[in-house]
A = this chain, B = another copy of it.
Amino acid sequence: MADYDLVVRGGEVATGFGTARCDIGIRGGRIAALAESIADGSPVLEAGGLLVLPGGIDSHCHIEEPARGGYVGSGAGAAVTVNEESFASASTSAFAGGTTSVVCFVPQWKGEGILPRLADYEQRAARGMLDYSFHQIITDPTEEVLEREVPQIVAKGIRSLKVFLTYEPLHLSDEEYIKVLVTARRNGCLVTVHCENYAAIKWRTEALIAAGLTAPKYHAWSRPSIVEREATHRAIALAELVDQPIQVFHVSCEEAAEEIARAQARGLKVWGETCPQYLTLTADDMDRPGFDGAAFMCSPSPRTTAEHAKVWEMIRRGTLDIVTSDHCGFSMAGEQGKAASGRDAPFRDIPNGIPGLAARLPILFSEGVSKGRISLDHFVRLTATNPARLMGLAPRKGMIAVGADADLALWDPRKKVTLTNALMQHAIDYTPYEGLEVTGWPVATVRRGAVVMRDGVVQAEPGTGQFLPRGPYDMVRPRGVLANGFDAASAPG
């Protein structure tokens, strides 16, 4: 009888600090042993010459997310559309890029509670191959929702509430945001926040459109860094008042990150996330001929190459400690595509978001590790360990350690690849990173011991992804033996 279900042999294994050359013995989907050499007799996946990294965790993905009335800010119609990236296609794309778990978003529709959308969404998510957890979006924080429904979802292991401080039908007022913070505090949830000032963007947008400045590039003009900084400061200040931990999503610029750094220096439980688009894309990309610029439109807006350097610095300083994709794909063509609603309309009416699930790890590895901006350790923490810790998925996920799920990405650090949409294996008809050359590429992906990708070929059975409940007590806590209080500064570590 084989000792192990699978042995990953001979790789340089990223066990949390540097790498160790060792074999990994997997049993029952979990890592049972790390050893200098595991005896023959078990099925083997050869990793010689490769890095073995924890499977990526992408804690910010919009997948198969239903919306009532469309995705653009001004939409308020009644018809329901569903984001074209299904859990099946997203799983394929994730595995292709070395990612094995995601946290995605359950919507709430105004006038409804949160439970109806959750029930629907649970069914959708169960059809994928990725392991998953949910952020619960709150757009209508009624007493019913806050007092009765939130405790129910927390009991299921959904322990983060997502709020928007901008977007027409989604944004919360300060009063509503405070209510969510108070509820999260009572229920031991994290609050994750999209920080941009609603009123300021609205004013700018209307002024631009009134002036006939409607092309995609004006998207960037409508929401400069300052509106992100303002909302970041406010989101933190109110969380400080309520004493509730928050994560600031998709930080695009130094000035917003600086607010997070100041809060951390005050000892607050505030974390910051960024995304590859804020390290590689610029506002100028939206100024491409015709409607092409729409392909790069997301919020916050891509900034400048100078800003990229500053965001890297904020990563290096540990202010920004998680890098996700904010995958939110809309094809350019097609019924739900960007062109359908936006080609002949002002920038405000173009669906907002870009795909990035498969591209995240290769871009960050190449721009970060291969170009010497960050160490390999740091890469692993940004893309797997830290998301696992902050989302309450550790120690099951996010590291290569005995007892953890055997989620692995086998990585060839020298392989050079030119990104194409085909390589992304997602449902969207383009990638904003088309043509980008990267050094370093995932050549195999293992999810709970199963080899789900090999040389770009994904093989996994729909419905094999698992829901990841998060425990009631160790949320946003370091996993120390004594679990005595939270240590914000050590989290990025």
Please name all residues of chain B whose beta carbon is closer than 8 Å to the beta carbon of A177 when the two chains form the complex.
199
Q: A142–B252 Cα gap in the complex (Å)?
A: 35
Q: Mark A392-406, 1 if CB is under 8 A from B, else 0.
A: 001100110111100
Who on chain B is nearest to A13 by CB?
Answer: B402
Q: A227–B240 Cα gap in the complex (Å)?
A: 10
B226 in contact with A197 (CB, 8 Å) = no
Q: A175–B234 Cα gap in the complex (Å)?
A: 16
Q: A173–B481 Cα gap in the complex (Å)?
A: 47
Who on chain B is nearest to A402 by CB?
Answer: B22
A36 at the interface (CB under 8 A from B): yes
Q: A381–B480 Cα gap in the complex (Å)?
A: 13
B241 in contact with A237 (CB, 8 Å) = no
Q: A316–B265 Cα gap in the complex (Å)?
A: 9
Stretch at the interface among A27-35, A109-117, A298-306, A458-466: A27-35
A16-B17, A200-B178 given; A378·B487 CB < 8 A:
yes
A241-B227, A488-B316 given; A375·B197 CB < 8 A:
no
Please name all residues of chain B whose beta carbon is closer than 8 Å to the beta carbon of A25 when the two chains form the complex.
35
Stretch at the interface among A56-64, A276-284, A330-338, A365-373: A365-373
Q: Mark A258-293, 1 if CB is under 8 A from B, else 0.
A: 000000110100000000000000000000000000
Among B34, B178, B401, B487, which residue has its beta carbon within 8 angstroms of that of A316?
Answer: B487
Please name all residues of chain B whose beta carbon is closer than 8 Å to the beta carbon of A490 when the two chains form the complex.
316, 374-375, 377-378
A485 at the interface (CB under 8 A from B): yes
A13 to chain B, nearest CB (A): 8
A51 at the interface (CB under 8 A from B): yes
A226-B237, A376-B481, A478-B377 given; A318·B489 CB < 8 A:
yes
B200 in contact with A20 (CB, 8 Å) = no
A482 in contact with B17 (CB, 8 Å) = no
A226 in contact with B198 (CB, 8 Å) = no
Who on chain B is nearest to A31 by CB?
Answer: B36
A348 at the interface (CB under 8 A from B): no
Please name all residues of chain B whose beta carbon is closer than 8 Å to the beta carbon of A369 when the two chains form the complex.
480-482, 484
A377-B480, A378-B493 given; A16·B19 CB < 8 A:
no
Among B15, B197, B264, B492, which residue has its beta carbon within 8 angstroms of that of A16?
Answer: B15
Q: Can you add 19 more A-B contacts, CB < 8 Å, to A175-B203, A179-B203?
A: A15-B401, A16-B399, A17-B385, A18-B394, A20-B402, A21-B402, A22-B403, A174-B198, A197-B237, A224-B241, A229-B237, A315-B489, A317-B489, A372-B482, A374-B490, A375-B487, A376-B480, A377-B478, A413-B482
Residues of A that sit less than 8 Å from B by CB = 12-13, 15-22, 25, 27, 32-36, 51, 173-175, 177-179, 182, 197-200, 202-204, 224, 226-227, 229-230, 233-234, 237-238, 240-241, 264-265, 267, 313, 315-318, 369-378, 381, 385, 389, 394-395, 398-399, 401-404, 413, 478-482, 484-485, 487-490, 492-493
- The 5 A-B pairs at the shortest CB distance, nearest first, are namely A372-B485, A16-B16, A174-B199, A316-B489, A33-B35
